[in-house]
């Protein structure tokens, strides 16, 4: 059993359990539940599904958007989308315009620039949000002296915020940096 300095050291054990230990367990369960609610599932089963030989998503692209094109021969090109016509996809790469025949295209991806800051920020917010109600509940449970509640809240917010930031950053780094728009096979 974890002994806290507020209630256990003073001999205020209630039903042989420490209020601080219960609050920390509840905090961790709530924290993990909220984190798991938005972190994408990991593994190879997250394949992006698009209908075969459907150019609709490519047709909706704004000119200038960064794309990656994979040819059926295995070649890969990156550049800015220019247009899609009935026979070819047109892109600008390394200062020159290219027309790649539609029949030779295996996959088209839209490239996404992500700095992982938004995942870390979400994790921080969730961590602090989880610590707030649980710290207040633990503080009002009778086992913690009212003068210790601010310190209990701050330490819980720092701990949960730091863990949330780390989990959010790692989860965001694992997310794909490109979105599948077209596939021929």
pLDDT digits (tens, 9 = 90+) for 30-64: 666 666 665 554 444 445 678 899 999 999 999 99
Tell me which residue range forms the domain holding 92.
44-113
pTM: 0.51
CATH of the domain at 106: 2.30.30.100
Q: What residues contact 163, with CB distance under 8 A and at least 6 apart?
A: 31, 123, 127
Which tens digits make up the pLDDT trace of 74-91? 999 999 999 999 999 999
1 in a structural domain: no
Answer yes or no: is 161 within a domain.
Answer: yes
Q: What percent of the chain has pLDDT above 90? A: 32
Say if residue 155's pLDDT is above 60. Answer: yes
Q: Please, which pLDDT band fits residue 119 given cuts at 50, 70 and 90? A: confident
Count of domains observed in the chain? 2
Where among 80, 113, 146 does a domain terminate?
113
Helix axes 117-139, 149-174, angle to 10 degrees: 150
């Amino acid at each position: 059993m974890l002994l806290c300095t507020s209630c256990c050291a003073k001999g205020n054990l209630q039903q042989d359990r420490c209020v601080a230990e219960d609050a920390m367990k509840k905090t961790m369960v709530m924290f993990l539940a909220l984190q798991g609610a938005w972190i994408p599932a990991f593994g190879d089963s997250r394949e992006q599904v698009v209908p075969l030989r459907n150019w609709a998503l490519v047709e909706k692209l704004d000119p200038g958007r960064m794309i990656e094109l994979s040819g059926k021969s295995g070649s890969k090109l990156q550049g800015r989308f220019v247009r899609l016509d009935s026979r070819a996809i047109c892109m600008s790469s390394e200062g020159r315009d290219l027309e790649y025949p539609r029949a030779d295209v295996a996959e088209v991806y839209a490239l996404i620039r992500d700095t992982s800051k938004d995942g870390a920020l979400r994790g921080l917010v969730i961590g602090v949000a989880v610590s707030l109600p649980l710290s207040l509940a633990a503080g009002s449970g009778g086992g913690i002296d009212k003068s210790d509640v601010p310190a209990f809240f701050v330490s819980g917010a720092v701990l949960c915020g730091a863990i949330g930031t780390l989990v959010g950053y790692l989860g965001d780094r694992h997310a794909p940096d490109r979105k599948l728009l077209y596939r021929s096979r």
